């Protein structure tokens, strides 16, 4: 049986993309799998009684070493802010390429806490900062110093001791440019070094809280229970700053989605499902329900999505246990078709993630294809014709070409960069000033404008001739030729329309990161947790890749 890949005009709608969940393809899971047999070590831990100072952690294999350097600083409560424009944090971190010398640490002690205002070198690969959840951190210190474990319900509800506010890489602020390291096999796959930084920061938070408790009461203090540690991750608050990324990196987006779609296609094409694979799928699916019920959110929008997902999943599991025959040919294809007929997008995409769990042989090769050499595809084939380009638009953007942008509801919003917050924002163009500062993120509107311009040009014209009088459309001409080769590179929705839910764009990206506990605080920002439930560094040698569901 040869099953077609799913139609991009269905998959690339924001409501569908915003229903994606973590899977075996997620970056934090593929990072852990890759580094499970590396040697982990805490190389330096020089903190004072209050937990301020320097620590170094490393992963080593053969001649390759990656070292996380941590700087924990004293911070007044009124200086603590998770905004991008903050200038001080409880801790700052950099991932160093190799083993840092004493002079490296001294240099970085002066630069890393400054973050954007510091200057890094090619020896540093990623940069980050984080703030404590003061209430949780202090509670844990108090309990441990008295010889008892903290309230696990409180810890589970929050999910972390620290939350990051940004993780930078790829040449920013003097960090190593990607071309220096992109050929290293262990970091094939997007954001692998950023995942390493966050994972090692998680371990630092446990070591720091144990150290402060011990310093407070040396005779009585105990360490945080290892199972409690495992149940904690690193928090993160993510806003609209993440949304433009998926518009601005079309080939990378394509490769992420394509890996998922190819995985699903190949799983649907499996003729006979083994008993072992069936049982693993069912086990992960049933165990995952516990994860969903642990999400804490005050967002009515997300509460309704969770309720709908739980209702659908519980009904679906009853169907699997009592009615479905896994011994039939192409059972997963039958399951998928049943899902599409019966359930909401959130449930469909959730189960698609679960279907991947038994099939390492399908997903592992695809993970290596999820990066992209984007600059290769920036050239516009100027020898092609207007007729060629029109046909591409008609084939690749059929729904977008039907949108009427003369209607206010389809042209309602504009994206801009906030001068005060230095972050992307979305505003109503009819209620607020500043539309002249609009960022080029209204791809649907630009595609429609391009199509209208092409219809009054001669079909025989070359693209070079067309652009000589339509240069303002160059960026969207480039995108159209990219989508010709990369079918999942474009959101097939209107990102400035009245119906836009920006949180769908955030959830899309975060699902590929491997985030858990989506907790929207509005339709424009949300909180998440990374690595919650993941094995600790010393447990990686016995790595269970289905840890997410344990």
CA 164 from centre of chain: 14
Name the burial class of residue 5, with classes exposed (0-12), middle (13-18) and buried (19+) by CB atoms within 10 angstroms of its CB.
middle
The distance between the two most distant Cα atoms of the chain, rounded to a whole number of Å, is 85
Q: Give 7's contacts (C-beta < 8 A, 6+ positions apart).
A: none
d(CA 488, CA 136): 42
Q: Give 364's contacts (C-beta < 8 A, 6+ positions apart).
A: none
d(CA 188, CA 30): 10
Token duo for residue 268: 């649907």
Q: What is the pLDDT of residue 83?
A: 60
Q: What is the pLDDT of residues 35-45, one digit of tens each?
A: 999 999 999 99
What size, in residues, is the chain?
550
d(CA 245, CA 505): 9
Q: What is the pLDDT of residue 295?
A: 73
C-beta neighbour count of 376 within 10 angstroms: 8
Name the burial class of residue 36, with classes exposed (0-12), middle (13-18) and buried (19+) by CB atoms within 10 angstroms of its CB.
middle
Q: What is the pLDDT of residue 426?
A: 87
Q: Give 14's contacts (C-beta < 8 A, 6+ positions apart).
A: 491, 493, 495, 500, 501, 504, 505, 508
3-class DSSP string for 174-220:
HCCCHHHCCCCHHHCCCCHHHHHHHHHHHHHHHHHHHHHHHHHCCCC
Q: Which ranges of the chain have pLDDT less than 50?
A: none
Distances, alpha carbon 29 to alpha carbons 35, 63, 191, in Å: 10, 24, 12
Token duo for residue 507: 């959830």
Per DSSP, the residues of 9-22 read HHHTSHHHHTT---
d(CA 30, CA 443): 32
Distances, alpha carbon 450 to alpha carbons 3, 390, 409, 445, 480, in Å: 34, 9, 20, 9, 10
CA 256 from centre of chain: 11
Q: What is the pLDDT of residue 300?
A: 79
Paired with 427 in beta bridges are 414
Q: What is the pLDDT of residues 341-399, one digit of tens each?
A: 999 999 999 999 999 999 999 999 999 999 998 888 889 999 999 999 999 999 999 99
């Amino acid at each position: 049986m040869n099953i077609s890949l799913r139609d991009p005009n269905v998959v690339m709608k924001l409501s569908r993309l915003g229903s994606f969940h973590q899977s075996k393809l997620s970056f934090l899971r593929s990072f852990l799998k890759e580094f499970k047999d590396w040697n982990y070590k805490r190389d330096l831990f020089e903190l004072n009684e209050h937990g301020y100072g320097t620590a170094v952690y490393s992963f080593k294999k053969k001649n390759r070493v990656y070292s996380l350097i941590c700087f924990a600083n004293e911070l007044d409560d009124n200086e603590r802010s998770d905004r991008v424009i903050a200038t001080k944090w409880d801790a700052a971190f950099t991932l160093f390429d190799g083993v840092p010398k004493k002079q490296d640490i001294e240099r970085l002690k002066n630069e890393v806490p400054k973050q954007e205002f510091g200057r890094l070198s090619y020896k540093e690969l990623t940069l980050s900062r984080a703030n404590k959840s003061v209430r949780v951190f202090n509670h844990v210190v108090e309990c441990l110093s008295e010889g008892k474990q903290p309230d696990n319900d409180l810890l589970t509800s929050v999910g972390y001791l620290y939350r990051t506010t940004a993780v930078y890489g790829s040449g920013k602020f003097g960090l190593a440019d990607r071309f220096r390291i992109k050929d290293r096999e262990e970091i094939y796959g997007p954001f692998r070094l950023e995942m390493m930084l966050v994972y090692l920061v998680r371990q630092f938070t446990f070591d720091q809280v144990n150290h402060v408790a011990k310093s407070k009461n040396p005779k009585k203090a105990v360490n945080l229970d290892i199972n409690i540690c495992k149940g904690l991750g690193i928090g993160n608050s993510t806003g609209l700053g993440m949304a433009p990324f998926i518009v601005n990196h079309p080939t990378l987006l394509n490769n992420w989605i394509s890996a998922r779609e190819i995985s699903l296609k190949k799983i649907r094409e499996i003729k006979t499902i083994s008993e072992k694979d069936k049982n693993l799928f069912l086990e992960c699916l049933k165990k995952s329900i516990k994860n969903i019920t642990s999400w804490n959110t005050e967002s009515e929008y997300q509460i309704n999505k969770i309720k709908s997902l739980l209702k659908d999943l519980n009904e679906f599991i009853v169907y699997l246990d009592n009615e479905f025959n896994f011994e039939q040919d192409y059972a997963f294809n039958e399951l998928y078709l049943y899902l599409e007929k019966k359930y909401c997008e959130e449930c469909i995409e959730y189960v698609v993630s679960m279907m991947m769990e038994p099939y390492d042989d399908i997903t592992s090769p695809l993970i290596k294809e999820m990066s992209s050499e984007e600059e290769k595809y920036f050239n516009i084939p100027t020898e092609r014709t207007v007729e060629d380009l029109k046909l591409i638009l008609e084939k690749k953007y059929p729904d977008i070409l039907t949108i009427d942008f003369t209607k206010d509801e389809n042209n309602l919003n504009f994206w801009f960069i906030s001068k005060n917050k230095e972050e992307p924002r979305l505003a109503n163009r009819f209620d607020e000033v500043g539309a002249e500062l609009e960022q080029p993120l209204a791809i649907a509107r630009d595609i429609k404008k391009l199509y209208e311009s092409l219809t009054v040009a001669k079909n025989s014209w070359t693209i070079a001739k067309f652009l000589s009088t339509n240069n303002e459309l160059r960026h969207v001409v480039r995108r159209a030729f990219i989508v010709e080769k990369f079918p999942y590179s474009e959101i097939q929705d209107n990102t400035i329309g009245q119906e836009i839910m920006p949180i769908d764009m955030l959830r899309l990206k975060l699902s590929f990161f491997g985030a858990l506990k989506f907790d929207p605080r509005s339709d424009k920002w949300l909180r998440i947790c990374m690595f919650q439930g993941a094995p600790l560094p010393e447990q990686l040698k016995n790595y269970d890749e289905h840890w997410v569901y344990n």
